[in-house]
Amino acid sequence: MPAILLSPLVKWSFAALGGAMVVHWVVKEARRINDELDERRRVRVRITDREARPTLRRDPRTGDYRL
């Protein structure tokens, strides 16, 4: 089987093109994930059992927060 001879310029061009494609894909995925996270942050969840949950109160002597 004959070896395919490509000049180094063509090889570097293919490598640069492949790298650019990977960077483009990574940026697109990062933006998609950030958009999904921002959408989830905007959703308000109503807490139905707010009265049953204990709250933290600051201890005036030590300054620590306790139930």
pLDDT per residue as tens digits for the range 7-60? 888 889 999 999 999 999 999 999 999 999 998 888 877 777 777 788 888 989
CA distance readout (Å), 31 to 7, 22, 25, 27: 37, 14, 10, 6
pTM as predicted:
0.54
Chain-centroid distance, C-alpha 35: 9
